[in-house]
Structure 1
Amino acid sequence: MSMTMSQKILAAHANLDEVRSGQLIMADLDLVLGNDITAPVAIKEFVKFGVDKVFDTKKVALVPDHFTPNKDIKAAQQCKMMREFATDKEIENYFEIGQMGIEHALLPEQGLVDAGDLIIGADSHTCTYGALGAFSTGVGSTDMAAGMASGKAWFKVPSALRFNLTGKLSPWVSGKDLILHIIGMIGVDGALYKSMEFTGPGVSSLSIDDRFTVCNMAIEAGAKNGIFPVDDVALAYLAEHCKRKPVIFEADHDASYDETYEIDLSKIRPTVSFPHLPDNTRTIDEVGEVKIDQVVIGSCTNGRISDLRVAAKILKGRKVDPRVRTIVFPATQEIYLQAMDEGLLKIFVQSGAVVSTPTCGPCLGGHMGILAEGERAVATTNRNFVGRMGHVGSEVYLASPAVAAASALTGFISNPETIEEK
């Protein structure tokens, strides 16, 4: 029986020769992840199991990143519970202030993700790691608890959609524009409980950061996971960060897909998602005049070094509109240091922006940039639901770092192609 890339990973971890779409399987896990919102719930459930230890102290990762540095007493209590659990269970991969980062940027950076891995995380954007050829998906806190205790999880094998990529992205167009284009094309439920598999000659032109962004937002199309083939770009990243030997799975040439979409990367335009769903997309040429109050550049979607470089290139030698609060969030401490070494942080501050410690912060309406009633933000984050970044009467427009930086300068959603290089 022919299988997709995702199905082959699931079959291998279930110790089966083959699996089929819709089949229920129990599979061995390579990593279980939780954050400061979801892990405390999982810890309470774990205690009810009556087990003394996690299945593998090296294969559980706890990352307090959503409300940290602690924004209030409740956040402090949540993190205290995680810290005490990590110490008691001798969990090696606990990352707090000083070592921390936004979880989905941090784990690959720390070498905890490898090609061929099967990963669950109590956070919907765990699907990010498909950029490295892993099957990774978000689960509930109870599943996380069971995973920590047993090292196993139940899965219903997904069917798949194939996105055949050709061509190459134009200047100022990125993986964020690509995934927003796709979500606008198929809808927020267009890949419901399916695997989004990206193939074709255009894949090689996408950077690893582009791929992280695309897979990160697979969940915004309803997908179970997103995944790229393991090519030289992925292998180069893994060689730098991961000490394990990658296990590479390739889809069979006759693998079955529910649908195949042909996408010419050269035709993708800078794309913006209007409120209040990620599939409410328009190209930059269709945006019109939209006045904004805040710009957020960062998050698990677009807080990597390449994202900061793009934003800095646009902001260098310029001033942000004084009416626009512009906040930059490097995704990890390592990215923060690299941005410092490259002079990017100085560019941001001199432009009138502020730079934050790594945190999810405003992405989920947590802290460090909450919107008031009637305010609008351009954000490089992944969701723009009603009240996502603050007041239910506020609006979030999703965009790439290039569009966000250009908009910070003008005070309106703007085309980065119109900003002359200095």
Structure 2
Amino acid sequence: MTMTEKIFSRASEKSQVNPGDNVWINVDVLMTHDACGPGCIGVFKKEFGDDAKVWDREKIVIIADHYIFTSDERANRNLNFVRDFCIEQGIKYFYDITDRSDFKANPDYKGVCHVALAQEGHCRPGEVMIGTDSHTCTAGAFGQFATGVGNTDAAFGFETGKVLLKIIGEISVSGATYKAMEFVGSTIESLTMEERMTLCNMVVEAGGKNSVIPADATTFKYLEDRTSVPYEPVYSDDQARFVAEYRIDASKLEPVVAKPHSPDNRALARECKDVKTDRVYIGSCTGGKTEDFLAAAKVFLASGEKVKVPTFLVPATQKVWMDLYTLPVPGSGGKTCSQIFEAAGCDTPTSPSCGACLGGPRDVCVSTTNRNFPGRMGHTEGQIYLASPYTAAASALTGFVTDPREFLR
């Protein structure tokens, strides 16, 4: 069996599962947030009653990250709704913002769910995670089956701790629709956990149901101080069957961007050098981790110049925000990211949140987020170019989409 099939086998308490099977899966972690939580809770109460109790208050994780740091009454209503539910149910892992008097994050606030889940030790090899957010697949970096589900499925999970899934294998012929994508090889083994999370995060943009990377020493080291829950990693058998295998020579890869209006509208960064940009955005669950900001700082440091367009920095979590002010950037003589960003003329890093990933300006923007559909970052006429932190930083320095190798040679 493949890794995903083995995880399903354990979670369904079956000795063997096969492509095409429908199985009830025991859930290890169920995540929702302030954006989808109210809808999920509404279905839960409607179907199971106002007095219904969740199946396990220690396996549900609720995070405030989407509609926060705002005085909008409807956004605050969402947060109040999930807060009341967590108090009522005694949810152990409710990562609240708690103090909204000045709309700044308090020290206990976590940040964007997909990064916070990893940092708080909820991503464990061999387990099953479902979440009411399509980028839940990020957790596949830990050798965990992780996928996004709808509010109704999550509400059923609240009550039973189970979810009905079809074994990955019966697939369409286009893209990665409903496929499990497994990443292996020397390049994957050389990646840090944050780099692996970025890779798995984007699988849903190819239509993938989930992604997995075999747990190894890098995984175990990351988890050492983050969880005391025992876990059991699984690995694909040598004889495991896959729909297709692709071999990529990483040494031949070049910086790329995704042009408007789809993540698969790929082009080399150097081919877009005439595209003038109005602003640059570095943040989100995809590009707002500590290593993403270190990458951007490396470009700014190598350049020594100031940005030519407004450059916004939104760390994914409170820990990342702290890292920007405390961790020295390699080769900088002890300077932190925040010092380098300030010298380059970037905006001051904001409090952690999903930020403009789910709403922004009517502009041409180079962004480290994960989607560039019309209206995704705000106005339907916005032109969003998805890029790595390296490319985003280089583009900020020139005012045009720029291959970062121009500054890093």
Q: Fold match, TM over 0.5?
A: yes
1:74 matched to 2:59? The reply is no
Which of residues 219, 225, 228 is equivalent to 2:210?
A: 225
Corresponding position of 1:371: 361
User: Which structure shows the bigger proportion of residues in strand conformation?
Assistant: 1
Q: Which residue of the partner structure matches residue 305 of structure 2? A: 318
Where do residues 65-214 of structure 1 align in structure 2 (5 Å cutoff)? 65-97=65-97, 98=106, 99-159=109-169, 190-214=175-199
Q: Secondary structure at the match of 1:199?
A: coil
Check the 8 A contact 2:273/2:400 in 1, yes or no. no
Q: Deviations over 1:41-75 (max 9, x none)?
A: 01111112125321111111111211212351110
Q: Identity rate of aligned residues, in percent? A: 40
Matching of residue 405 in structure 1 with residue 398 in structure 2: no
Q: Is the 8 A contact 2:263 2:386 kept in 1?
A: yes
Q: What is aligned with 1:395?
A: 383
Structure 1 position 306, deviation (Å): 0.7
Normalising by structure 2, report the TM-score: 0.91
Please name the residue that 1:302 is paired with: 287
2:193–2:222: 8 Å Cα contact kept in structure 1? yes
Conserved in 2, the CA contact under 8 Å of 1:101 and 1:359?
Answer: yes
Residue in 1 that maps onto 2:333: none
Q: Which residue of 2 aligns with 1:179?
A: none
Cross-structure match for 2:344: 351
Provide the secondary structure at the position in 2 that maps to 1:94: strand
Secondary structure of the equivalent of 2:77?
helix
Report how many aligned residue pairs link the two structures.
Answer: 386
Instruction: Classify 1:420/1:13 alpha carbon distance in 2 versus 1 (closer, same or farther; 3 Å).
Output: closer
The whole-number CA distance in structure 1 between the counterparts of 2:386 and 2:257 is 6
Q: Which of 8, 11, 15 is the matching residue for 1:10?
A: 8
- Runs of 4+ aligned residues of structure 1 deviating over 6 Å after TM superposition are none
Segment of structure 1 superposing worse, 303-312 or 241-250: 241-250
Cα RMSD (Å) of the superposition? 1.7
Gaps of 5+ in 2: 98-105, 328-335
Give 1:420 shift: 5.0
CA distance in 1, matches of 2:323, 2:366: 25
How far the C-alpha of 1:288 sits from its partner, in A, is 3.4
Pairwise CA distance, 1:160: 8.9
Q: Secondary structure at the match of 2:70?
A: coil
What amino acid is the match of 1:277?
S
Q: What residue in structure 2 maps to residue 37 of structure 1?
A: 35
TM-score by length of 1: 0.89
Alignment deviations for residues 73-96 of structure 1 (CA, whole Å, 9 cap, x no partner): 110000000110011111011112
Matched residue, 1:170 = none
* Residue 326 of structure 2 is aligned to residue 333 of structure 1: no
Q: CA deviation at 1:245?
A: 2.7
